[in-house]
Amino acid sequence: MIQQLIEKIQKTKAPICVGLDPMLSYIPEHIVKKSFHEFGETLEGAADAIWQFNKEIVDHTFDLIPSVKPQIAMYEQFGLEGLAVYQKTVKYCQEKGLVVIGDIKRGDIGSTSAAYATGHIGHVQVGNNSFAGFGTEFITVNPYFGTDGVKPFVDVCNKEDRGLFILVKTSNPSSGEFQDKLIDGRPLYELVAEKVVEWGGMSMDGAYSNVGAVVGATYPEMSRILRKLMPNTYFLVPGYGAQGGTAEDLKYCFNEDGLGAIVNSSRGIIAAYKQEKYAKFGAEHFAEASRQAVMDMVADINSVL
């Protein structure tokens, strides 16, 4: 699966993914009003507004990018109506030729991890029939349970030709409370990185593994170390833009071949129209603002590679 993502990155010359993480506050008033008029101020109304918002952004950016990353929590907050829109968004993006990274951050004991993997990247057996639940190409995974929690995901990846991004060094300010703690003189994130390489060896796909790593753009010196520790691991890089990471910061996430990382931007793209830089587009043309923000992000990142 990682080779399919790499091919799309090379074709678009855009090592980025758009985070489809919609909050109602990001959605222009005219869309929300229309959905509420049709469905009321209900979970169904909120979910419809999210769907209309997502569809416009995808329609205006799909030809520029290789991938999207919907964060499932933004949909779960609206219950079953929200999850239905998550699934609808996944399928729509796939129809547009995009690789979908389901940002679900799951991880548990073996049987539970196996069920998560089945639901999100695998197929569930129902009598004589087999069904894909959400059917994303990649998912994010929390490694806190160790091999017991990760290997079931790797097994499904191998069976279904899917991929993972394991949390290694995240972009949030308090990530160091655990991830930077020294164990036998080394930070925990380095030990996790070594396990990711071990797990990745079970699922190689050419020069890179289907088992990738989440490495935040907000800690460039750490990403430099992690790149050396994980030369054959693809990085999913959050933290660019709204969280403070710059193109200069994230260049260490890439290998000399210009590959090795895909950079995410969520509100920096989907809520671009709210930024002063893109205010000229206005709320009515929010999707055009998102398209321009994608082009600017691609140019910015490519300028340092």
Say if CB 240 and CB 192 are below 8 A apart: no
DSSP string over 203-248: SEETTEESEEEEE-TT-HHHHHHHHHH-TT-PEEE--BSTTSB-HH
Of 55, 88, 96, 105, the active-site residue reads 105
d(CA 121, CA 154): 10
User: For residue 269, how many C-alpha atoms fall within 13 Å in the half-sphere facing its CB?
Assistant: 33
What Cα–Cα distance (Å) separates residue 56 from each residue in 51, 91, 289, 291?
9, 15, 11, 10
Centroid of chain to Cα 279: 26
287, two tokens: 């999707």
d(CA 66, CA 106): 24
Catalytic residue status for 151: no
Q: Which residue has the tokens 């416009």?
A: 56
CA dihedral 122, 22, 216, 16 (to 10 degrees): 80
Active site residues: 105
